[in-house]
Amino acid sequence: MLDNNDLLMEMQRRMLRIRRFEERVIQLVERGEIVGAAHSYIGEEAVAVGACLALRDDDWITGNHRSHGHPIAKGGDVNKAMAELLGKSTGFCKGKGGSMHLADFSVGILGESGILGSSIPTAVGAALGSQLQGNDRVAVPFFGDGASNEGAFHESLNLAAIWKLPVVFLCENNQYAVTSSFKKMVASENISDRAAAYNIPGVLVDGQDVIAMYEAVSEAVARARAGEGPALIEGRTYRYFDHSLGLNRIVRDPYREDEEVEHWKQRDPIIIHAKLLLSQGIATQVELDALESEIAAQIDEATEFARQSPYPEPSALFEDMFANPIPLE
């Protein structure tokens, strides 16, 4: 088992950073400081963190609508993330993207897509770039169980497979697409089974176990860097909250049992990993408490930063459409 203590602590740090960030987001949504649609990543932290810590800073990721966790896991700036959610000019995207379109190209985050499956080909293209440029940068598209039913999934896996591109397809199977269970919507038992159709490895991983995620992705990344082609990894996980914050107000029929939700909360990735850190003597309770306060301070600072930041000027409306601008009306 993994014996890099700094790495094991960093896993906890990033998972906790995501958790506390998302808890703050919930407050800000309730307060009306964050508008539009916000999809909570709480419960799924181990997937993004395990995967992103298996990557280099210069590797690429793409995300989806539920993507506050991915940029944080990849090392994106929390201040800019929070500012973006508040629509401020200091955000990743100058306030133009918001919750579903976080992106930080400076740390390899090629951006998130609110349209399902849409950013999977983008990641394949980044990997094609690596191949053409002769470097070994790997691309990891994050997408859900529901998105694996989009045609883009099929086309992308086949394309990456025949060209042996360095892509690790990462399906976050939180078992529901809005109210639809993947058991009803996905014909195969596991999404990882679909790898067989492309002659690539398909691995089902416990998405609540950050170390398991880290190891599975590390192996796939090693293969990809070695030019052996793509892999499909399914992180079996769970979202604690409704599909999007506030949606429970309009979803009429319950689509999952309270017992099920409870069962999964018992397998909370952050608690599991904390127990391990303590039991293995990698961290003391005091150190974990210190981590808590470190993160709390970061989130407070990010919130302050976002609140203090200015909104974009009206003149920003027509900026950023083109690298080589043209008259726009």
Ligand X SMILES: Cc1ncc(C[n+]2csc(CCOP(=O)(O)OP(=O)(O)O)c2C)c(N)n1
Binding site for a second copy (CB under 8 A): 149-155, 157-158, 161-162, 184-189, 193-194, 196-200
How far is Cα 54 from Cα 67, in angstroms, rounded to an integer?
18
Buried b (16+ CB within 10 A) or exposed e, 307-322: eebeebeeeeeeeeee
**Size of interface with ligand X, in residues (CB under 6 A):** 14
Is 207 a binder of Mg ion (CB under 5 A)? Answer: no
In the complex, what is the shortest distance from the CB of residue 237 to other proteins, in angstroms, rounded to a whole number?
18
Q: Which stretch binds ligand X (CB under 6 A): 20-28, 112-120, 211-219, 264-272?
A: 112-120
Is 226 a binder of other proteins (CB under 8 A)? Answer: no
**104 or 145: CB nearest ligand X:** 145
Is 33 a binder of other proteins (CB under 8 A)? Answer: no
Q: Which of 147, 160, 203, 274 is in the footprint of ligand X by CB under 6 A? A: 147
How far is Cα 7 from Cα 273, in angstroms, rounded to an integer?
12
Binding track over 248-287 against ligand X, x by CB under 6 A: ----------------------------------------
Binding track over 156-185 against other proteins, x by CB under 8 A: x-xx--x--------------xxxx---xx
Q: Which of 318, 307, 298, 247 lies closest to 87 in space, CA to CA?
A: 307
Q: Between β-strands 176-177 and 180-181, what pairing exists: parallel, antiparallel or unpaired?
A: antiparallel
Q: Which of 59, 77, 145, 206 is in the footprint of Mg ion by CB under 5 A? A: 145
Q: Specify which residues 180 forms β-bridges with.
A: 177
How far is Cα 271 from Cα 265, in angstroms, rounded to an integer?
10
Is 55 a binder of other proteins (CB under 8 A)? Answer: no
Is 148 a binder of Mg ion (CB under 5 A)? Answer: no
Cα torsion 28, 29, 31, 36 to 10°: value is: 120
How far is Cα 2 from Cα 297, in angstroms, rounded to an integer?
29
Q: Between β-strands 202-206 and 180-181, what pairing exists: parallel, antiparallel or unpaired?
A: unpaired
Is 112 in a helix, a strand, or coil?
A: strand
Q: Which of 147, 200, 210, 295 is in the footprint of other proteins by CB under 8 A? A: 147
Q: Which of 176, 118, 113 lies closest to 146 in space, CA to CA?
A: 176
Is 329 a binder of other proteins (CB under 8 A)? Answer: yes
Binding track over 160-199 against Mg ion, x by CB under 5 A: --------------x--x----------------------
Using CB under 6 A as the criterion, which residues of the chain lie in contact with ligand X when the complex forms? 65-66, 114-116, 144-147, 174, 176-178, 243
